[in-house]
Amino acid sequence: MQERLRLELLRRIQRGSLSLSLLSRQTGLGVSHISNFLHNKRGLSLESMDRILAAQGIALADLLPASRPLGDGEPAGGIPLVSHETAMHEPVVRHSAVRRILHLPHEMLRDVRAHCPPGRKAWMRFVAIRVAAADADAMSPVILPDALVVVDRHYNSLVQYRPDRPNLYAVRSDAHLVIRYADFQASRLVLRPHNRDAPIELLEMDGDKTPGDLIAGRVIVVLNCP
């Protein structure tokens, strides 16, 4: 259990949502104490572990082994509805991160093709997110306010899935995801709306980043709520 907590904390630090100093302030534990734990130089007492779990909002159930991620072409028993942050960053969806389960016919997902780097194959494949009214306007009438979209996180390539139809992506923009058509031009990821009155957005590629680093996945199902 401590090893799973260590890996989870390292993952949060790597993505920039946590730092040693912040965790020290949250828990009252010394920075060196936390650093030694993260570098496998010491373990945690039960009290220290409880402090970290409480400070980071981690439940013990979140550290238990998760069910096997879906593989290519494997039908889903249910699609977890999660936050944008979880869809962007969580390879395995924690139990506490699931807001509800969407049940779709297996036939909708069984033959969906993947296109992603080998590392993405370890991610839970299908997740759903909700599209806020402010973000839905740019994709009207394809996506309406409060729509649910199912994202295939094993497809973060700009290769067109169907030759006669542009791919629709969930793309990281600041701290949330936007649903847009996308292509890559002059070292920029170009996000195109469906609504012609909405602006085109340009996302600069920093350092050695690729478009796939910003693309959470391809949207495969849109559920417009009445």
Q: E strands along 22-94, which residues?
A: 79-81
pLDDT of residue 38: 87
Q: How far apart are CA 169 and CA 205, in angstroms?
A: 17
Identity of the amino acid at 122: A
The predicted-structure confidence for 4-53, as pLDDT tens digits, reads as follows 888 888 878 877 778 889 999 999 999 899 888 888 888 888 888 888 88
Name the residue with tokens 């997902």.
109
Q: How far apart are CA 29 and CA 14, in angstroms?
A: 20
The predicted-structure confidence for 193-222, as pLDDT tens digits, reads as follows 999 899 999 888 777 788 888 999 999 999
Identity of the amino acid at 21: S
Sequence-distant (6+) residues with CB within 8 A of 199 are 138, 193
pLDDT of residue 64: 64
- Main-chain dihedrals φ then ψ at residue 87, nearest 5 degrees: -60, -35
Is 216 within 8 Å of 168 (Cβ atoms)?
no
Question: For the chain, which domains are there?
Answer: 2-63 (1.10.260.40), 79-223 (2.10.109.10)
pLDDT of residue 119: 86
pLDDT of residue 158: 93
pLDDT of residue 136: 92
What is the average pLDDT across 83-106?
A: 87
Is 118 within 8 Å of 184 (Cβ atoms)?
no
Rg (CA), the chain: 19
pLDDT of residue 10: 84
What is the average pLDDT across 90-97?
A: 85
The predicted-structure confidence for 153-203, as pLDDT tens digits, reads as follows 999 999 999 988 999 999 998 889 999 999 998 788 999 999 989 999 988
Instruction: State if pTM tops 0.75.
Output: no
pLDDT of residue 84: 93
Band (pLDDT 50/70/90 cuts) for residue 68 is: very low
The predicted-structure confidence for 101-135, as pLDDT tens digits, reads as follows 998 887 788 889 999 998 888 899 999 999 988 88
Sequence-distant (6+) residues with CB within 8 A of 216 are 87, 88, 151, 153, 156, 169, 170, 171, 172, 177
Mean pLDDT of the chain: 85
Mark 20-34 as b/e (b = at least 16 C-beta within 10 Å): beebbeebebeeebb
